[in-house]
Amino acid sequence: MKIYSMTATFGKLEHRQLTLQPGLNVLCQPNEWGKSTWCAFLIAMFYGLDTRAKSTRGSLADKERFAPWSGSPMAGRIDLNWNGRDITLERSTKGRIPLGQFRAYETASGLDVPEITAANCGQLLLGVERSVYARAGFIRFSDLPVTQDEALRRRLNNLVTTADESGDGDRLGAALKAYRNRIRYNRTGLLPEADVCDKDPRGTQSYTEYFAKGTVPTESCDHHISLQICEASGKIAGEYCPADQVVTRTYIVGAEKGSADYQYCATEKFLNETCNIHDAETQDEEEPEEEPADPPDDAKPEETHEPEQTPEKNEE
């Protein structure tokens, strides 16, 4: 991001403009010229004013400390370049809220830039939270006492551990933790059973992993079970279930009740029930009676011998 110019009605600044040159800009001006006021204006334009802050006996809240001396409404404008686009930021007083109205638009066309809002402007353009910017990029005497800030601590920790303070390390760690939890929940980490673990109803649960020497698993998976199921009853097949109605299915064991995986689980009740449709009687009904086989075509007909009839004698 590069700042071209700033225009402010802020504190002692009344419609004052400050134009910056490419590179490093150093303001060498006398006391009370407005150097600190310009710095305060810059942070107020990026992050807004904390209108809830109240003045104390020792210091004034920014909304009162930088109220325009002229009595005009507090307002400001910054022209800058962000990601190759010339953009203008404007904040103005809304009712009784100083700098409560915000707008970001393309300088040339006037079209709104919706991704930049009053809430995310500073962090999006500068890449850090307000508290971090106030302790790193903008330091005034009132901020010199060191106080603990979680956002700054997190960024310094990322810088030391990963050489990157952008927060990508935290996001990567969270993603790896979530992935590890999914692996622990869906997979046992043990050696898969052949033709069982890869037939999990949720999809194959077998995968390739590299282990350090001496850490290779030696036990087989106990998270899956393969059962013979009768399609007619949907229960474990019994000895009388017809072979053409028996299928092999894989179930998981140990899923928590109410979880998404519970529908694929072989519960204790399921494991103790067998088919109640097929039994010895149904098997007898299904088996057809054997019909006598037809004789072969070349079989000779059996010869029958009838007793010879003798003629009756008529005696006169």
Q: Name the β-bridge partners of 78.
A: 6, 89
Longest Cα–Cα distance of the chain, Å, equals: 180
Separation between Cα atoms, residue 19 and residue 6, nearest integer Å: 7
Region 224-232: what's the mean pLDDT? 88
pLDDT in tens, 65-123: 999 999 999 999 999 999 999 999 999 999 989 999 999 999 999 999 999 999 999 99
Residue 100 has φ and ψ, to the nearest 5°, of: -80, -15
How sure is the predictor about 145, in pLDDT bands with cuts at 50, 70 and 90? Answer: low
Q: Which amino acid is at 304?
A: T
124 vs 259 pLDDT, higher one: 124
How sure is the predictor about 164, in pLDDT bands with cuts at 50, 70 and 90? Answer: low
Q: How far is CA 282 from CA 52, 278, 286, 289, in A?
A: 83, 6, 6, 14
Token pair recorded at residue 32: 């009370």
Lowest mean pLDDT among 218-222, 270-274, 295-299: 295-299
Alpha helices in the chain (DSSP H): 35-47, 62-65, 121-126, 130-136, 150-162, 168-186, 268-271, 280-286
Cβ atoms of 98 and 50 within 8 Å: the answer is no
Separation between Cα atoms, residue 300 and residue 297, nearest integer Å: 9
Cβ atoms of 172 and 77 within 8 Å: the answer is no
Residue 186 class from Cβ within 10 Å (0-12 exposed, 13-18 middle, 19+ buried)? Answer: middle
pLDDT value at residue 182: 46
Separation between Cα atoms, residue 132 and residue 128, nearest integer Å: 6
pLDDT in tens, 29-51: 998 899 989 999 999 999 999 88
| The pairing of beta strand 85-94 with beta strand 75-82 | antiparallel
Q: Which residues contact 152 (CB under 8 A, 6 or more apart)?
A: 131, 132, 135, 136
60 vs 2 pLDDT, higher one: 2
The string of DSSP letters for 101-144 reads EEEEEETTT--B-TT--TTTHHHHHHSS-HHHHHHHT---GGG-
Give pTM, 2 decimals: 0.48
202 vs 140 pLDDT, higher one: 202
Number of H-type helices and E-type strands within the chain? 8, 7
176 vs 190 pLDDT, higher one: 190
pLDDT in tens, 77-87: 999 999 999 99
pLDDT value at residue 74: 96
Region 280-300: what's the mean pLDDT? 60
pLDDT value at residue 84: 95
Residue 223 class from Cβ within 10 Å (0-12 exposed, 13-18 middle, 19+ buried)? Answer: buried
Region 275-303: what's the mean pLDDT? 64
Lowest mean pLDDT among 123-137, 184-198, 245-259, 293-307: 293-307
Q: What mean pLDDT, rounded, does the chain reach?
A: 80
pLDDT value at residue 184: 41
pLDDT value at residue 293: 59
For residue 17, pLDDT beyond 70: yes
Residue 199 has φ and ψ, to the nearest 5°, of: -110, 20
Q: How far is CA 51 from CA 74, 89, 242, in A?
A: 13, 20, 80
Cβ atoms of 132 and 152 within 8 Å: the answer is yes
169 vs 56 pLDDT, higher one: 56
Sign of CA pseudo-dihedral 140, 143, 146, 152: negative
220: DSSP letter: B
